């Protein structure tokens, strides 16, 4: 099992290129199931979840090609779907597998998808997805860990009025894809507004779908009989960009981030500036971050986009351990997303947990020790904490970080970090 060995205490300086967004690439790959024609996706990150999704699509009969090394382009041809099933052995480590449900039932009228695995950060039920698809005419049951769905009669979903009880990103994506091939118009209310939703809608529109309102709480989709071939470039990863902004800030370094989308980072940038960090857009798609000798405490409350992303909460907690004063971090999205706090406490952080609130008193002198990553973003936060800790930190179970960060140890090494992967 791979680990990172990190020696802290060095300010990071230099330039880092931000890769494509994993959370946009995964639904884009699933959307390729909606057509029998060629779909070319560019700016695809080479991370574990992408590899898993590629294997899943291939299992279903799609031809998946990555002509470049390292691959940033992926070509998918789902001319025939041999089996509309996502088996547990392929999806047990990746929650995004549920994204195949909408395209499969939309195109074939049936699907069998294992209830997904992924990070241990609390319940992420798929009942919102299932209820929405039932409103569009699907008959759905769950048994032995699988969701089984079929459309009786014509086998084609019909447009409907979907109102989500709670904002759900993957639920919005699933219904958006299913509605693209449904009969009539589908209206989605209380839809997620994340940039990844807009990116998926842009792809579907290029494939021939009619979609209005993506990026707002109300989306309208007029279904088509079929979709066609297209080429699409996936948006930059706003969470990777946010993580490197914190890396520059926590080490009192000076970094340039290229290939990012600053407009997707407004809440993170605003909060980092509140702590005293300098961030400027120096060119289109380029951000410069410079740390502060003394960081100020700041409170954070995670919210759906455009609020502060839950996927940046752990990284901000690492920064808060180095800030002067008390920071209160409130997690409203997931109920079990403070697992990294206990590992930071082992490094010397002063953190107390009260339900959905983490209270961080800083600054703390962190010391290197052995820590265990519990999920994808927790991994990143422990790496950030290790960058400022005295001595050597061993971060175990880094397969979590490989799910969402492409060669993070190489990128950090290139800007001055002392980090290496050991087996």
Q: In this predicted model, what pLDDT tens digit does every residue of 158-193 receive, in sequence order?
A: 999 999 999 999 999 999 999 999 999 999 999 999
List the single range of 81-95, 321-335, 407-421 with lowest mean pLDDT.
Answer: 81-95
User: Do 212 and 243 share a domain, yes or no?
Assistant: no
User: Do 345 and 319 share a domain, yes or no?
Assistant: yes
**Is 176 in contact with 195 (CB distance < 8 Å)?**
no
The answer for residues whose C-beta is within 8 angstroms of residue 170's C-beta and 6 or more apart is 27, 95, 96, 98, 99, 126, 129
* Domain of 192, in residue numbers: 22-233
Tell me the mean pLDDT in the region 117-133. Answer: 66
pLDDT at 327 over 50: yes
User: Do 202 and 229 share a domain, yes or no?
Assistant: yes
Last residue of a domain, one of 198, 233, 268: 233
User: Do 191 and 301 share a domain, yes or no?
Assistant: no
Q: What is the pLDDT of residues 40-72, one digit of tens each?
A: 999 999 998 999 999 999 999 999 999 877 779
Q: Which residues pair with 5 in a beta bridge?
A: 394, 420
Q: What is the pLDDT of residues 191-233, one digit of tens each?
A: 999 999 999 999 999 999 999 999 999 999 999 999 999 999 9
User: Do 228 and 252 share a domain, yes or no?
Assistant: no
pLDDT at residue 122, as a whole number: 40
Among candidate residues 325, 254, 329, 253, the one with its CA nearest the CA of residue 296: 325
User: Do 209 and 341 share a domain, yes or no?
Assistant: no
Tell me how far apart the alpha carbons of residues 26 and 103 are, in angstroms, rounded to a whole number.
13
User: Do 105 and 140 share a domain, yes or no?
Assistant: yes
- In order of 6, 30, 181, the CA distances from 207 in angstroms are 45, 13, 11
pLDDT band at 376 (very low <50, low <70, confident <90, very high): confident
pLDDT at 368 over 80: yes
pLDDT band at 125 (very low <50, low <70, confident <90, very high): low
pLDDT at residue 116, as a whole number: 64
Q: What is the pLDDT of residues 250-292, one digit of tens each?
A: 999 999 999 999 999 999 999 999 999 999 999 999 999 999 9
Last residue of a domain, one of 210, 233, 256: 233
User: Do 74 and 154 share a domain, yes or no?
Assistant: yes
Q: What are phi and psi of 416, to 5 degrees?
A: 110, 0
Tell me how far apart the alpha carbons of residues 59 and 232 are, in angstroms, rounded to a whole number.
23
Q: What is the pLDDT of residues 57-112, one digit of tens each?
A: 999 999 999 987 777 999 999 999 987 677 777 777 677 788 999 999 999 999 98
pLDDT at 124 over 60: no
User: Do 240 and 208 share a domain, yes or no?
Assistant: no
pLDDT at residue 68, as a whole number: 78
Across the chain, what does the average pLDDT equal? 93
Q: What are phi and psi of 277, to 5 degrees?
A: -75, 140
C-beta neighbour count of 367 within 10 angstroms: 14
User: Do 306 and 327 share a domain, yes or no?
Assistant: yes
Strands 392-396 and 3-7: antiparallel
Last residue of a domain, one of 175, 209, 233: 233
Q: What is the pLDDT of residues 1-28, one digit of tens each?
A: 899 999 999 999 999 999 999 999 999 9
For residue 140, the domain's CATH number is: 3.65.10.10
Tell me the mean pLDDT in the region 238-259. Answer: 98
Q: Which residues are catalytic?
A: 119
User: Do 9 and 57 share a domain, yes or no?
Assistant: no
pLDDT at 121 over 50: no
- In order of 113, 154, 293, the CA distances from 100 in angstroms are 8, 21, 47
Take residue 200 and report the two structure tokens written for it: 């998926």
pLDDT at residue 320, as a whole number: 98
Number of structural domains (the chain) is 2
pLDDT at residue 32, as a whole number: 98
User: Do 147 and 245 share a domain, yes or no?
Assistant: no
pTM, rounded to two decimals: 0.95
């Amino acid at each position: 099992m791979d680990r990172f060995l990190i020696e802290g205490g060095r300010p990071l300086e230099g330039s880092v290129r931000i890769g494509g967004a994993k959370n946009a690439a995964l639904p884009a790959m699933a959307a390729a199931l909606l057509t029998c024609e060629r779909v070319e996706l560019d700016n695809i990150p080479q991370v574990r979840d992408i590899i898993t999704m590629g294997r899943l699509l291939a299992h279903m009969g799609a031809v998946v090609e990555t002509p470049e090394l390292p691959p940033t382009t992926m070509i998918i041809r789902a001319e025939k779907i041999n089996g509309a099933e996502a088996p547990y052995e392929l999806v047990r480590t990746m929650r995004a597998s549920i994204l195949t449900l909408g395209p499969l039932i939309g195109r074939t009228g049936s699907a069998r998808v294992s209830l997904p695995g992924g990070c241990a950060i609390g319940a992420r039920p798929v009942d919102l997805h299932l209820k929405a698809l039932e409103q569009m005419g699907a008959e759905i049951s769950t048994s032995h860990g699988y969701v089984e769905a079929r459309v009786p009669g014509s086998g084609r979903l019909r447009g409907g009025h979907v109102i989500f009880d709670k904002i759900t990103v993957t639920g919005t994506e699933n219904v958006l894809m299913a509605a693209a091939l449904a009969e009539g118009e589908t209206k989605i209310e209380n839809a997620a507004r994340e940039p990844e939703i807009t990116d998926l809608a842009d792809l579907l529109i290029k494939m021939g779908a009619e979609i209005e309102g993506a990026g707002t709480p109300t989306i309208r989709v007029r279904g088509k009989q079929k979709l066609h071939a297209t080429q699409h470039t996936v948006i930059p990863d706003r969470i990777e960009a946010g993580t490197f902004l914190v890396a520059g800030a926590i080490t009192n370094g000076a970094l340039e981030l290229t290939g990012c989308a600053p407009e997707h980072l407004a809440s993170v940038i605003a909060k980092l500036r509140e702590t005293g960090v300098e961030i400027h857009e120096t060119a289109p798609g380029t951000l410069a971050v410079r740390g502060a000798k003394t960081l100020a405490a700041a409170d954070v409350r995670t919210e759906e986009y455009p609020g502060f992303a839950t996927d940046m909460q752990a990284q901000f907690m690492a920064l808060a351990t180095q800030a002067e004063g008390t920071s209160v971090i409130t997690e409203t999205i997931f109920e079990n997303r403070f697992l990294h706090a206990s590992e930071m406490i082992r490094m010397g952080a002063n953190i107390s947990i009260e339900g959905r609130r983490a209270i961080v008193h800083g600054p703390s002198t962190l010391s290197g020790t052995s820590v265990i990553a519990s999920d994808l973003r927790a991994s990143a936060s422990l790496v950030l904490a290790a960058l400022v800790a005295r001595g050597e930190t061993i971060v175990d179970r880094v397969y979590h970080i490989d799910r969402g960060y492409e060669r993070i140890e190489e990128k950090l090494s290139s800007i001055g970090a002392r980090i290496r992967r050991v087996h």
